[in-house]
Each structure stands twice: as C-alpha cells, then as structure tokens.
Chains A and B, each alone.
Chain A
C-alpha cells in the first residue's frame, strides 16, 4: 500500500479515536444532523414523487374545460353553448360534464360526485372511492342513502369500489349515472356543470381559449397546461410550509457550521499543539480535521437520506400526514412511486456535507500554523 494512502489511514485512525473520545457530544451532533437531513430528504422525495405522479396521471385530463361565471362565481353552463363552440376551428368534440360536491354530515366527509364522461354507470348504482369505502366501512352491494336537493332520500347500491391504486385521484369520488345525478342534485336538463373540449392540435390551446372568451364572454376556459402547472406548484419550495422547512434547514446547517467554525475548544487546541510538537505538519493536522468533518457529515447525510427514503416510500410519509390531511376525513393512501432525483440529492449533499467539512477545517487553520514551541511554554 503506497505511503500516501497509509498516511491517510493513520490519520483516520487518529480522527476516529478522537471522535470516539467524546461519544456523547459527537453522537448527539450526528443525530441532530441526520435528523435535519432526514426531514429535508423526506420532503424532497415526497414532493418530487407527488409532482411526478400528478404530471403523469393528469396528462390525461380534459384538454379544455369551459366554465360559466356570473357575479364572479361559477354557474351552470347551458349545454346549448356547445353550438357556438363548435364553430371555433380546431375544436374536435364537446361533451358536457356533470359533477358537484356532497357533504355527508354523518361522517363529516366531503364527497365529489361525478358522472363519467360517457355516462357508463348503471342507474341505481354507484362506484365509490377507496377512502369512502374505508371511512364508511362499505362493501360491494351495500346501500348508501343520500339526501336530494329537494330533501327527499335517494338510495344507491355500491356496484364498484375504485381500486386504491388510483386513490390519489379517486379517493373521495362517487360515480353515478346522469339521470340519477340530475334527480339528486337538481341540475336542470339542458345545463351541465361545465363543458369538456378536445382539440385537434395541443399547441393551439391558447388561441382556442382566447376565441372561446370572445365567442362566449361569460365563460372561463381552463386549459390542460394550467391544470398541470397548478400541480407542479404543489409543495413547491416557494410555498408556505415547505419554504419554512427549507429556511429552517438551511439555518440549521449554518448553525452547525458556525458552531464549528467559531473556534476550537481549549482541549482541541492543546491536542493540535502537541501533534505539531511531536512532528505533525500543518497539512497533517488539516487532513485530520478534514476527515473529522467528513466523517460526521457523510454519515449524517447517508443516514438521513436512507431513513427519509424509507419514511416516504415504505411508510407513505406518515410524518407529513397531519400537515397534509388538515381537517379532511377522506385521505388517499400515499403509495408513491419511489423516485430519486440526482439534482435534489446533489443539492442536499452540497448543502450539508460541504459546509460542515469546510467549517471543521477553517478554525484549525490558524491553530495549525502557529509555531509548535507554544506547547513547550504552556
């Protein structure tokens, strides 16, 4: 083994011995450091996975949705508006979409009731989302009552429970036939909640949207790219809690590094003095300090990332549940697809390992360059 490697191994022996000498303090430091990395890694994994999932799944969303607004609020849209829309060049098809909300006081839950685009549900039956089935402990064949808009009770049989693999989009959905929905919700025939358009050329979304507002001034078109953009911003680091978390993490790392950089304890100074006196060069002392910084930060980084990954992809990010769930009673199980983004990990690495390692070397620099005879006179 070449001398240079053997020299580093000796220095590592010494460094690890030094670290183990203060097991408690260094253990606590490692723990807190790893915890900070864990939280940040968890957030990075979770948000990136969720955004990826949203992007891939919502890629199939309707291309253009046309809503009607009066007094700044959403209103039913006359299905007859489709005729005006058909005149716009580039529009392939127009379908009415019927959906709305239903608050179930008994369970404190908000359902989203929808009629599938091609009205595929059999009358008298409903399909329910996995979170609803879990909340109500419903099984296939169960009968669920609803109170209609007119106060009359309506009952439906559960014909299908939507697979929990699609829970991210369907957890709180109830699907029923158009006739049933109109009877229950009171949406008059000839009206729909909104209209869904398919378009020949996706690059014309903006042009067509503009034409729609000109042809029908009381409408508001929402385009697929806007839908995707909304979910790209979910949990973005620029928003609310995530921003706070990031700021807190950056601050933590700076505090760790600052604590290290503001100087060595008297014990450490004496140790370096002795080492210089017995023949260690400045470069040897600095190399040792480098290993010390690297040892703690590399271990903390690896542990934090490992536990973060397990937490998010095996534990469904359970620590985030209270934050995400808020006051909802219907909550999808986050079985996200594991995903590691090199950019995220690299950023995390440079945020955690590099500053701390540098901060460990910095104060030693001054001490390491003083004359070794200082230890003789002390």
Chain B
C-alpha cells in the first residue's frame, strides 16, 4: 500500500512566482492494482506522480511505501528505492538521443554494476517480449512513435520494479498505439505489477483494467474520489 498523508508541494516558495501544485492531498493506493489519476493539465497529476516515485520531496506531509516512510530518506537511499521499486514512462518518452534502443533499455541498470553479459541478455529479452528485438541496435531517433513507446516501456522494466508510473502515456499516440499500450499494461497487471497512471485520455480512464479512478483538480482531490 502506498499511503500519502497531507502532502503539499509548493514551487518557488517565498518568491513572486510562488505556485502551489498540491495542497494537503491524502490518499491510499493499493498495490497490484491499476490506479488512474484523472484531471486536466495543470491539476497536479504530474507532481503527485513525481512525489510518489521518489523524484522530488513534498513541501509538507509524508509518504509511506509499504509502511516505510520515504519522505525523510537522504538522496542516496531515495535513488536506490526509486531504481529498484519504480519504473517510469514519461510523457515524451525521454529516450537518450544518439543511443540505441538496447542501450536505452540498459541505461537504468548501469550504475548497479550488473555483469554486462547478463544485463544485455535481460534487456534483449524484454525487448523481445515487446516485439522489438530486431530494433535493438537502432538509434533511438530512428524509431517510430510506437517503437519508441515500447522502448520506453522496456526501459521502465529493466530493474524489475514492482510499481510502474506512467505520465500521460497516450498523449502523443493515435488510437491504435494507445490500444497497444493498454494491452501491454494488461500483461503487466497480470504479472502482479502496480500501475499508477496519470491521464485525461478517456481510452485509459474508461478501460476495464483501471481498478480505481482518482480525480484531481487544482492540486486537490475532487470530492467523489475514494478515501485512503
């Protein structure tokens, strides 16, 4: 269970462009479920995702993952947790330019010092699972939209995370690719992974795999969402 207690995030505190992205958000996310944060852009979905995924610290409030508080951990431990527990799929994929698909998939695991041959094999296996092994040595700039999406998904899986976080994954995809994305998510759910997705795409919100939809508006949870 991921518990979020009274979390607020304020950017540029004390300066003229001060901006409150989230204010006193409290909720619980069950593991091995698919949770969707729904809301318009600017509502704070991305901020909430980054806080859950140990990418930033809240201005106030606490976050627990499996009863372990992560908000007070030093950066090194935070990075360790982020690397082993979470896999990220970004809105614009954010693949490393100039590197091949295989290198992109291997990248998150490089600092772990895993043996090169085993890391390479695992990466190829994941790419194979997503029907991309024939594109392993293609530079990321030369991949099509759908292929880049799958490389981004493969990259998020390399460290065997239990929680996958996706930020507006279908924002730049057509209906066909969006459907493909959902199909892959279904497979991951069946494997027992927790999925946290931020999206205002009805295709995702209305999908059968979405166990729970939480509405976020202006940095707060809308009234009709479930309680922790």
- A residues touching B (Cβ–Cβ < 8 Å)? 1-7, 9-11, 13-14, 17-18, 21, 267, 271, 274-275, 277-282, 284, 371-373, 375-377
Decide: B112 and A281 in contact? CB cutoff 8 A.
no
**A281 nearest CB neighbor, chain B only:** B79
Partner of A274, one of B55, B76, B96, B112: B96
Decide: B56 and A371 in contact? CB cutoff 8 A.
yes
Decide: A1 and B155 in contact? CB cutoff 8 A.
no
Decide: B90 and A376 in contact? CB cutoff 8 A.
yes
Decide: A18 and B76 in contact? CB cutoff 8 A.
no
**Closest chain B CB from A15 CB (angstroms):** 11
14 A-B residue pairs with Cβ-Cβ distance under 8 Å, sorted by A, are: A2-B113, A3-B114, A6-B113, A7-B112, A10-B113, A10-B119, A279-B159, A280-B111, A281-B76, A284-B111, A372-B82, A376-B49, A376-B50, A376-B91
Interface flags, B143-171, vs A, CB<8A=1, else 0: 00000000000010001000000010000
A7-B112, A10-B116, A281-B76 known; A18-B98 Cβ under 8 A: yes
Decide: B97 and A279 in contact? CB cutoff 8 A.
no
A14-B107, A375-B94 known; A278-B88 Cβ under 8 A: yes
Decide: B96 and A281 in contact? CB cutoff 8 A.
no
Decide: A10 and B50 in contact? CB cutoff 8 A.
no
Complex CA gap A284/B55 in Å reads 16
**Closest chain A CB from B21 CB (angstroms):** 10
Complex CA gap A14/B83 in Å reads 18
**B114 CB contacts on chain A under 8 angstroms:** 3, 6
Task: Tell me if B33 counts as interface (CB < 8 A to partner A).
Answer: no
- B residues touching A (Cβ–Cβ < 8 Å)? 46-47, 49-50, 55-57, 75-76, 79, 82-83, 88, 90-91, 94-99, 103, 106-108, 110-116, 119, 155, 159, 167
Decide: A278 and B107 in contact? CB cutoff 8 A.
yes
A3-B113, A7-B111 known; A376-B75 Cβ under 8 A: no
**Closest chain A CB from B104 CB (angstroms):** 9
**B94 CB contacts on chain A under 8 angstroms:** 274, 277, 375
**A271 CB contacts on chain B under 8 angstroms:** 96-97
**A17 nearest CB neighbor, chain B only:** B99
Complex CA gap A280/B112 in Å reads 9
**A274 CB contacts on chain B under 8 angstroms:** 94-96
Main secondary structure of the interface of A (DSSP, over half): helix
**B107 CB contacts on chain A under 8 angstroms:** 14, 275, 278
Most buried by A among B91, B94, B115: B94
**Closest chain A CB from B8 CB (angstroms):** 15
**A284 CB contacts on chain B under 8 angstroms:** 110-111
Partner of B108, one of A6, A21, A278, A373: A278
**A375 CB contacts on chain B under 8 angstroms:** 90, 94
Decide: B167 and A376 in contact? CB cutoff 8 A.
yes
Complex CA gap A29/B113 in Å reads 31
Partner of A17, one of B46, B47, B79, B103: B103
**B165 nearest CB neighbor, chain A only:** A376
Complex CA gap A166/B40 in Å reads 89
**A280 CB contacts on chain B under 8 angstroms:** 79, 108, 110-111
**A3 CB contacts on chain B under 8 angstroms:** 112-114
Complex CA gap A274/B107 in Å reads 10
**Closest chain B CB from A292 CB (angstroms):** 14
Decide: B75 and A278 in contact? CB cutoff 8 A.
no
Partner of A11, one of B76, B82, B110: B110
**B79 CB contacts on chain A under 8 angstroms:** 279-281
Decide: A10 and B111 in contact? CB cutoff 8 A.
yes
Decide: B75 and A7 in contact? CB cutoff 8 A.
no
Most buried by B among A3, A6, A282, A373: A373
Most buried by B among A10, A18, A21, A279: A279
Decide: A373 and B113 in contact? CB cutoff 8 A.
no
Decide: A277 and B96 in contact? CB cutoff 8 A.
no
Partner of A282, one of B75, B119, B155: B75
Complex CA gap A13/B110 in Å reads 9
Complex CA gap A3/B108 in Å reads 15
